[in-house]
Structure 1
C-alpha cells in the first residue's frame, strides 16, 4: 500500500478480529493534500479507528487523490484500481473527487467519492460502512493531532484555493478561490504543534503571499493580541514561538520585500520559495504570469545585499506552447544571473481543463523533456557554485 512513513509507524497489523476497525490510507499529491490527510487521520483516530499498514488488514481504504497534472491523475487512478483489487472497499477523496461521475463510471464499486477538504462527507462515508467503536474523544489525541510527517516538522496550512488564473493550472477549479484562515486559528494550531515537539513549521497554501486578502486582512485575537490576517503579521507572530518558520509557495508580490527584516532578525528562516515559472516575457504573458523578470533580478540582488544568508528556491515550466529556442536561452541566461540556490523544473504537459491546452505552438515531448534536462544540468552547476561559496561558513 502506498503510504507515508508516519502512517506505517502508526499503523497496526491484524485486521478487525479484535473488534478495532482499521483504515488503510493512500495519500497522494502535494503538502496541502498531506495536511488534509492528517486532518482525516486525526478525526478517525479520535473515533477509535486504527490505521492499517496493508490492504489485507484494512477494513476499508481511503485514497486521497491528486489531479494537478495528467501524470498525477494517472497515478491516482492506478492507486484507486489497486485499492479496489486488493481490498474492494474504497472511499475516494481529494482533488480528483471533483469528477465524481467520471470516477463512478470507471469504478462503479467505489463506496463514496468526495472532493478536497470535504471531511464531513469522508467521515459519513466511513461511518456508513464501518461504524466507530466509540464516541469521539479528542483528548485521546496528542496535542498537535496526528501527523504524517517526521516528528520534528509539520506543515501549517494557512489558506486554501487560489485567485490566479495561470493558463497551465487547474487548482482554482479543483480547490476553489482563496479562502484564508483567521490569524488566531492559525496561531492556535501552531502553538499546539510546538507544544507537541515540532521544531520547524512549514507554512503552506496555494498562494501563501496572498494570505488574508479575501478576509480584507481582518484582525483576530490570539493571547490578547490583535493579529492582522496578512503574511507579514502572521510570520512575525509565528516567529515568536521560538522554532524555525519556513515560508513556501510565495507569488512574487511587492510586499514580500517586507519579509526581509524578519529574516535579518531571525524571526523566520532566510528562505523564499517563489515559483518564477519562466524568464521570457512572451512566455510569461502566455502563461498569465508576471512578465518583468528583469526587475525580479534587481529585487533578488537587493534581497541578498540585505540578507546574505538568504536561500531562494523556485520552480520552472519549460516547453510551454509557443516557447522558442530563444525564449529558452533567455531563461538559461536569467538563471545564470539570478543564481538561485534550489530549482525544480517540469516539462509542460496538457492538463485536462487547463486553458493552455488550446494554445497554438505545442512542442513535441522530446523537445520539452530535452529542455527540462538542459535546465536542470545548468542549475546543478549554479547550485554547486553557490554551495562552494558557503564552505567555511558557520
Structure 2
C-alpha cells in the first residue's frame, strides 16, 4: 500500500450512513458535498430527521427522498453539485437541495427544474419543512429514538466540532460571507457540552472547524458562560484549553495568524492541544495579498512562525495557497517560492485561481493565462513536495503515537498527530497489524518515508 486509500471519504456521506429502518418507516438519503463544515450541517439535519422518526438510507433505491447538501465555493464545486443533483434525480426522482449552492436557487432550478425544494446553508428548519412536505413523518413512539450521540457521517473515532458560522473577512476571491453570512459564534458552553458528549460516546479526536476559528467569539465580545463550576470565555484560547481536558486529540483548523494565536502555542507544548495549525496563508507577496484584500505581512508571519516553533518545536503547519491570481507576476510568484523555502511548512495544498460567480476578483485586470497558472502550480507543488519529503525523511527512526483509521487485509492505515483526516498523509503498518481496531492510539517506530506518507512498525 503506497498511497492514501480512496474509500475513506467523509464528503461522500451517503457511503458512510448505516441503514436502520423498520417496516413502513419513511426513509431519507443524504449526499453531502464540500467541506467539513457542510458535513456537520448534514449530520445535524440527519440527527433531527432521525429524532422525528425517519430512517436513514445509504442508497438511492431505499430512500423515499434524497437531500443533496451542495458546495458552491468554486465553479468546479458548483458543477460537481449540479452533477450530484442530476444523479439523485435520475436514481431516485425526489430530491431536495440545501447547502451553499442553495443560496442561488434560480441557478439550481434553471438546470434541474424538477427538484422539490431548495434551501440555503445551515437553514435546518427550512430543510425539515421541505422534507415534511415531500415525505410526511410517521414516528413510532416506542421505536424511533434519537441516538445519544446523534447521527454521524465520519468514522466513530473522530468528529468535526463546528464552533461558528460565517466569516467577517472580505477576501476578493471568496463568496463565503455572501453565502453563509457574517461570523456567528456558538456559545462556548454549548460547544463544550457537544464535545464532552462526543468523547463520552467514543470519539478519540475532535477536529475544530469554522470559517475562521481564531476569530471565535469576537461577535459575542468574548462573553463568559458557566462551565464545571467556573466560567469560560467564548474565545479560541479558552475553548482550546477546556477541550484539552477531555482526554481526546484536539486539532485546530482554519486559524488566521492573529497576534493572539501565539497564546495557543503553549497549550500545544503542554500536550493539551495537538501541535498542529491549519493556517490559510494564500500567498506571500504583499502586492498579491493586497489585491486579495488579505493581510499583507508575510515577513512578520515568518517571525511569528519562528517564535511559535521556539515554544513548540514539534509544531506542524499546514496551509493552502493560490497561484495565478489576477495580476500575479513572475516576480511575485518567485517571492512565494522563496517564502516557502523560509517557512518550511509541513503540509501544503495549492489551487490554481479560477473565477467564482459573484467574487470581486473576477473584475481585476491582468488575468493569468491558463498555461502559466498550470506551470506555476507545478513549480509550487515541486517545491512543497521536496520540503515534505525532507521533513518526513527526518522522522525515520522516531517513535510516535498514531491513531488507527482503517484496518484492511494488507495494512492498517493510521495518522500521526501531524496528519488531519483526508487532507494530510498517512502512516501505514503492514506487519503485525491484524489485531488493531479503528480508533486505537498506538506507538510506532517509523522505518520508511515517502513524499507524503510514512510506514512504521508497532513498538
Smaller-chain TM-score bracket? over 0.9
1:335 aligns with 2:343: no
Could you say what secondary structure the match of 1:173 adopts? helix
**Segment of structure 1 superposing worse, 153-162 or 95-104:** 95-104
1:234 aligns with 2:239: yes
How far did residue 340 of structure 1 move? 0.4
Counterpart in 2 of 1:12? 19
**1-structure distance, mates of 2:108, 2:16:** 31
Cα pair 2:162 2:209 within 8 Å, conserved: yes
Could you say what secondary structure the match of 2:89 adopts? helix
Cα pair 2:11 2:33 within 8 Å, conserved: no
How far did residue 353 of structure 1 move? 0.3
Q: How does 1:183-332 map to 2 (within 5 A)?
A: 183-332=188-337
**2-structure distance, mates of 1:12, 1:164:** 40
Could you say what secondary structure the match of 2:267 adopts? helix
Aligned match of 2:41 in 30, 36, 39? 36
Could you say what secondary structure the match of 1:361 adopts? coil
Cα distance change of structure 1 residues 333 and 9 upon mapping to structure 2, 3 Å threshold: closer
Counterpart in 2 of 1:362? 367
Cα pair 1:13 1:57 within 8 Å, conserved: no
Aligned match of 1:99 in 101, 104, 108? 104
Instruction: Identify unmatched segments of 5+ residues in structure 2.
Output: 1-8, 400-459
1:162 aligns with 2:151: no
**2-structure distance, mates of 1:329, 1:137:** 66
How far did residue 374 of structure 1 move? 1.4
Structure 1 stretches of at least 4 aligned residues deviating more than 6 Å after TM superposition: 135-139
Cα pair 1:46 1:137 within 8 Å, conserved: no
**2-structure distance, mates of 1:47, 1:313:** 40
Cα pair 2:14 2:32 within 8 Å, conserved: no
How far did residue 369 of structure 1 move? 1.9
Cα pair 1:7 1:51 within 8 Å, conserved: no
Higher helix share: 1
1:127 aligns with 2:128: no
Cα distance change of structure 1 residues 142 and 219 upon mapping to structure 2, 3 Å threshold: same
**2-structure distance, mates of 1:196, 1:13:** 19
Counterpart in 1 of 2:58? 53
Cα pair 1:6 1:150 within 8 Å, conserved: no
**2-structure distance, mates of 1:115, 1:223:** 36
Could you say what secondary structure the match of 2:320 adopts? strand
1:70 aligns with 2:69: no
**1-structure distance, mates of 2:13, 2:354:** 32
Cα pair 1:47 1:137 within 8 Å, conserved: no
How far did residue 351 of structure 1 move? 0.3
- Count of equivalent residues: 391
**2-structure distance, mates of 1:231, 1:126:** 36
1:376 aligns with 2:418: no
Which digits, 9 at most, give the CA deviation of each residue in 1:51-71, with x for residues without a partner? 222222211010000000000
Cα RMSD (Å) of the superposition?
Answer: 1.9
Could you say what secondary structure the match of 1:155 adopts? strand
**Segment of structure 1 superposing worse, 170-179 or 382-391:** 382-391
Cα distance change of structure 1 residues 302 and 280 upon mapping to structure 2, 3 Å threshold: same
**1-structure distance, mates of 2:187, 2:158:** 22
Cα distance change of structure 1 residues 20 and 138 upon mapping to structure 2, 3 Å threshold: closer
TM-score by length of 2: 0.82
**2-structure distance, mates of 1:177, 1:138:** 40
How far did residue 143 of structure 1 move? 2.5
1:27 aligns with 2:32: yes
Cα pair 1:46 1:138 within 8 Å, conserved: no
Cα pair 1:37 1:64 within 8 Å, conserved: yes
Cα distance change of structure 1 residues 3 and 384 upon mapping to structure 2, 3 Å threshold: closer
Cα distance change of structure 1 residues 175 and 9 upon mapping to structure 2, 3 Å threshold: closer
Cα pair 1:11 1:50 within 8 Å, conserved: no
